[in-house]
Structure formats: C-alpha cells, structure tokens
Structure 1
Amino acid sequence: MKKIDSYAHIFPRAYFDRMASMAKDKGAIKRWLTIPVLYDLEARLKMMEGFPDYQQVLTLSNPPIELIAGPDDSPELARLANDGMAAIRDAHPEKFPAFVASLPMNNVPEALKEMERAITVLGARGIQVFTNVNGRPLDEEEFWPIFEAAVNRYDVPIWMHPARGANVPDYASESKSRYEIWWTFGWPYETSAAMARMVFSGFFDRLPNMKLITHHMGAMIPFFDGRVGPGLDQFGSRTSDEDYEGMLKRMAKRPIDYFRMFYADTALAGGRSGLRCGLDFFGARQVLFATDCPFDPEGGPMFLRTIPKAIDELGLSESEQEGIYFRNALRLLKLPCDC
C-alpha cells in the first residue's frame, strides 16, 4: 500500500553546514553528525530504495531556527532551509512530493514574509512551528498573525513539533533535566501544554478551520482522555485567583471536544498501544502516517518497518488504513492522488 510519511526530518546540506557553523555548543550537534540520512541526500535516497511506494513530506529537523540564530540572522537561515527543501522536492518529486516551510519565529514580520514566499513562490504545503518560541507560549498575541495567515490567507496545515531541552529542569531545586527525562517525558508534556494553551486561549473559536498536526499522536491527550474530559468539565474548581469557571461557561464546546479537533501522526516509535489509543481519540480520518525518520536506532530504516507493522496489527479496515497511510495526507496537502 502507498505510504506518505507526513513527518520526515531533513537538513538540506547547505542549511546544515551553515547551522553547524553557527551552533554555539558543538557537543549539542554530535548526534546529528552520526545520522548521515539526515543531511546526506544520497544516503537518504539509497535507504528509501528498500521501501517501494514510500514517499516523504520533508520537514526541517530540530532544533528550531530561532534557537540557533537571533532575530537578525534567523530569516536568512529560514530561507536557506526552505530553498533547500524545495530543491530536493523538485529534483526527486517521486520520493518527496511536498515540503513544509520553516519560519524565523523570533522575527514575526520576517516570518510572515517568508511564509508568503515559501507558499506562493516555492510551493510549500504547510508551515512548521515548535511548541514554544525560546520559552514563550504560542498563544502570545505577537504570534497570532502567523497562525491567522496560515489558516485564513493560505489555507495550509500547521505541523507542531515539541521543543524542550536539558536546560529545563524537572525539579525546582535543580538546574537541568537528568537522564534525558526532558526528551522522553518532557516532549509529550510540551506538546500537551501547547495544545491546552491553544484550546483555552480560543484558537479554534477564532480559527475554526485550523488544521494542526500534533507530532507523536497528540502526546498525552489521548491517554488522559478522562482527565481532559470529565476532569476539565470541572475547569476552574481548583483555581481561586482566576475566573476559569466563567471561562468554561463561555466556551462553545466542552474542552475535550476542542482537543479532538487537532490532527495527530503515528510517530510513536512502533508502539502499538499508543497508536490504538490515539486512533480511538482522534479517529482515523485525523491521523496521518509518520515515522520521525531518521531518528531511530538504525539511523533511518527501523521505524519505516516497525511503525507500519504496528499499524497493520490493529485490525483496521482497508479504508481506514488507506486514510492513515496516504489519503488523509493527500487531502490536507491538496495533492492529486496517483493511486
């Protein structure tokens, strides 16, 4: 069956070289240097030869551009990334039918300009944001024009990737996160927190047509549907210094119904239980196949095998499988179906 990997990461080579030269902490990029598929296009193409009927939607890899460069330099870095992904798509359209634009989120006026250029000139099919902008929440009013333009002006989906590092401690008494807790559990928390901020700040009321793809199957939300459902039906009962109960009464829907408006992907490293949980929560029509390529222990091919295996073991109907594997992506990206 045809498969479109809706969240595959890449560093276009020119971007990677420039980013590496700007990195303040060379140790922080050591992992990327050990994954050739991430920045070596020939290595990626060779790997993909083993997976017929498989395509990738290209998204820029972590870290966020705004974490690497200040507001004066980040626009140039974003242009370099988007030009590189567009060139890869143009050279190999049968392998990479689309790419998602990256933006310099620490420079909103330039981010709006780059969004327009990437979508209208380069043909980007969406934009990628991270769950925070150097520690600032996405629902700050300064960032609103980016979301409004993506939804109302360009009608493109938004990919949201978690952003959290070891510098965010797990305990108030410490200065850093240990044992990679910041990644294993911090990233799902970051995504869930960003989703909650969007729900309660009214994103879906102001942008009812927003299509936002949450990485890693909606993070914590599907598993905690009871806390998000009946739990948040009591929103405000635990808080005395803000009128959350009044906010709940003014909301047009139950909180859990807003959370169901997000999209999710299958990038759960091959975990079958998490896939089932996410599909039960979001429904097959709002789940897209994704592998997180090339961030697996083999540097690329492992999740291309294990995630489809987990999906195929769920007992889904053929139409549900087709939707997850490629039809939902085609619909969101407005791509023709050659299947």
Structure 2
Amino acid sequence: MDLKLDIFAHVLPTGLLNSVQEKVPNIIEEMQFLKIPALTDLKIRRNDFPTDVKQIISNVNLNPEDYFDPMQAAELCQSGNEELLEMATKNEDIFAGAVAMLPMNNIPKSLEIIDQQVLANDKFIGVQLFTRAIGKSIADVDFEPIFMKLAEANLPILLHPVFDTTKRDNNVTFSWEYELTQAMNQIVKAGYFEKYPNLKIIVHHAGAMVPYFSQRIKYTMTSQEYQDFKKFYVDTAILGNSKALELAIDFFGTEHMIFGTDAPFAVIPNGTTKEIVTAINEMNVSVQVKKDIFSNNLLKLIR
C-alpha cells in the first residue's frame, strides 16, 4: 500500500483561537467555517481516516495580523506554530508534518520565525502565505523579503486564497479562485521567478483559473511570463473532477501536481479525500504519474 501525502489539510490551533476570541468574541459567528469540529477535534478527524494517507497540516484562515499589532501577531504566530508542531508530533499516524504561519505585519519577525522555527525543525516543510495580507497583494514589495528568504532556504510556499474585503460580492465558490489567479499573475509580473530561481510556490485549488485560460496567458502576455506561470506547483483540491485535473497537469506538467484535499472542508466531517483520490485514480495518466502526484512530487520538493 503506497502512502499518500496530502499537502493541503487544515487545522485550527485552539490556543490561537482562544486568543483571537478574547479580542473578537464573535469571531466564529463572523467566520462560519471555523465551526467545523474536525478542525480542532482530532477524535472526529480520526473517524474513518484513510489508512494510506498522511496530512501536512496548516492553520485555517485565521491570521493574527488581521487582529493584533505587529509584536502580538508575531507572538501568536510563534505559539501557533508550536501548537502545529505539537499536533504533528503527537499524531504521526495521521499527520506527516506541518506548514508554519508568519505575521505579515511584522516582516523582521517573519524572517526570524523562518530561521528559528521552520528551519530548526524538519517537521515544518514550508510556510503558508495568503493571496492578500493587511490589505495588500502578497506580491507587494513590502513582502518581497519573505519570498527571497524562502527561495534561499529552499522552502516551499503554500499559497492559499483569502477574500479581498474591498469587494462586495465575495463568495466561496468563485471568489477564491479569482484571488488565487490574480495573486499568481502579480507574482509573475513582479518577476520573482527570475529574481529567485529556487522559488517554489504550491498553489491551492489546482492553479485556479490558469489551466482553463492558459492560451489567453500565452497570447496576451510575454513568452517569459507564460513560462513563469508554468513554474507554479498546484494541488488537487478541487473536490474531484478528473478532467479538470488532467487540464491542470497538461499545463503545469506531471512533476508540478501534488496531492492535496483541503480537508476537512466541503464534506462534513472530514472533507473530500476519498473523492479526490478517486478522481486522481480516474485520470487518463500513467500509474507512475499517479504515484508521483500522491507522494513523489512532494518528496522531491521538500527537505
């Protein structure tokens, strides 16, 4: 039985949640997805957990910089990372590692966290960044030192969507895919793949709109930008859909697709792992490519 490594699975560190609730008592009512019990209750998480899967865990969309000043945000990220590390260490039968969080309103402390927490423990395989932070694009020049640092450290970035709060029509079904696509475009336009050749970015939701509009990219952008889009890695978290996964792999390449499920979201209590495994198995690709998607591509990417 070959082990499958799930690069994008979420949890919610309870210490972080409690700290945010002290300042924003109604945070769970404001962010309904925080109510999913399997984010915090690992007994539920273990219910019907597939025996051939281990998850790389990352914090759900609850970012300290949205609620706290730079020093407090840094402290909460550090303690939240310790919680993630403890969860991964104590539950090695279902978790293979973790992805660290960074305080995006405190870049010096973010760089320290990469040195002192992420690089210091091999259970951290990289960091999670979001498409926007403190009202800015993730490709804003203020955040560039993080991209530089992670490229130098040979650590992957997991790129996760968040809403652009200036828009009135945000919705989970479509908005996040647009935000991911825009962030990819902004990263390409910033020239980061030329500046930092070792940069590795894993994009959630199979690269969002890019595979479908790849020819528009080819004919409306420069050849260098078109090639830069191909440098992203993508996960398989689109709730199934073999044909869409095939389209993504056609554009990004067989070595750039990595198994990811977005667990425990979409299907209560534990997400759509079974549906996504089935979709990958039904893809019109070789057995070896499927094995690469399930584990080998990630193992080549991380330390």
Q: For 2:70 and 2:159, locate their aligned partners in 1 and report how far apart those are by CA, in whole Å.
A: 21
CA drift of 1:93 comes to 2.2
- 1:6-25 paired onto structure 2 within 5 Å: 6-23=7-24, 25=26
- Does the 8 Å CA contact 1:8/1:58 hold for their aligned counterparts? yes
- Aligned to 1:182, the other structure's residue is in SS state coil
Q: TM-score, with normalisation over the residues of structure 1?
A: 0.84
Match of 1:30 in 2: 32
Output aligned runs, 1:190-201, within 5 Å.
Answer: 190-201=179-190
> How many Å separate the matches in 1 of 2:34 and 2:142?
32
Deviations 1:44-100 (A, max 9, x none): 13342xx11110001111133322323232111101210011111211223212111
Report the CA distance between 1:29 and its aligned residue: 3.2
TM-score of the aligned structures, taking structure 2 as reference length: 0.93
The residue type equivalent to 1:224 in the other structure is F
CA shift digits 1:265-295 (9 cap, x unpaired): 0000112232121111111210000100011
CA distance in 1, matches of 2:79, 2:259: 27
Question: Within 2, Cα distance between the matches of 1:43 and 1:315?
Answer: 34
C-alpha spacing 1:314/1:119, structure 2 compared with 1 (3 Å): same
Q: Which moved more, 1:3-12 or 1:18-27?
A: 18-27
TM superposition shift of 1:30: 3.4
In 1, the alpha carbon distance for the partners of 2:284 and 2:274 equals 17
Provide the residue aligned with 2:207 in structure 1. Answer: 218
Following TM superposition, by how much is the alpha carbon of 1:25 offset from its aligned partner in structure 2, in angstroms?
Answer: 4.4
Quote the offset at 1:31 in angstroms. Answer: 3.0
Show the counterpart of 1:243. Answer: none
Unpaired runs of at least 5, structure 2: none
Distance in 2, matches of 1:47 and 1:122, equals: 30
- Preserved contact between residue 4 and residue 295 of structure 2 (Cα < 8 Å): yes
Aligned residues: 300
1:93-117 Cα offsets, whole Å, 9 max, x none, are: 2321211110001111111111212
Matched, 1:254 2:224: yes
Amino acid at match of 1:168: T
| Residue of structure 2 equivalent to 1:315 | 284
Structure 1 residue aligned with 2:137: 137
Cross-structure match for 1:173? none
**What letter matches 1:320 in structure 2?**
V
Q: Unaligned 5+ residue runs, structure 1?
A: 170-175, 234-252, 335-339
Using the alignment, how far apart are the partners of 2:77 and 2:187 within structure 1?
25
RMSD: 1.7
Distance 1:31 1:196, change over 3 A: closer
Structure 1 residues 244-283: Cα deviation after superposition (integer angstroms, max 9, x where no partner): xxxxxxxxx5321110000000000112232121111111
1:128 aligned partner: 128
Conservation of the 8 A alpha-carbon contact between 1:288 and 1:329? yes
**Structure 2: how far apart are the matches of 1:134 and 1:299?**
31
- CA shift, 1:299, in A, is 2.6
Residue identity opposite 1:267 in structure 2: A
Whether the aligned pair in 2 keeps the contact of 1:64 and 1:130 (CA below 8 Å) is no
Offset, 1:24? 5.9
Deviates more, 1:255-264 or 1:11-20: 11-20
Q: Which residue of 1 aligns with 2:53?
A: 54
Moved over 4 A (4+): none
Partner of 2:146: 146
Q: State the structure with more CA Rg.
A: 1
**Is the CA contact 1:168–1:182 (under 8 Å) kept in the aligned structure 2?**
no
Distance in 2, Cα, partners of 1:212 & 1:39: 27
Residues in 2 aligned to 1:205 and 1:84: alpha-carbon distance in whole angstroms: 35
Match of 2:268 in 1: 298
Kindly report which structure 2 residues correspond to 1:269-288, keeping only aligned pairs within 5 A, or say none: 269-288=239-258
CA contact (8 A) 1:20 1:29 kept: no
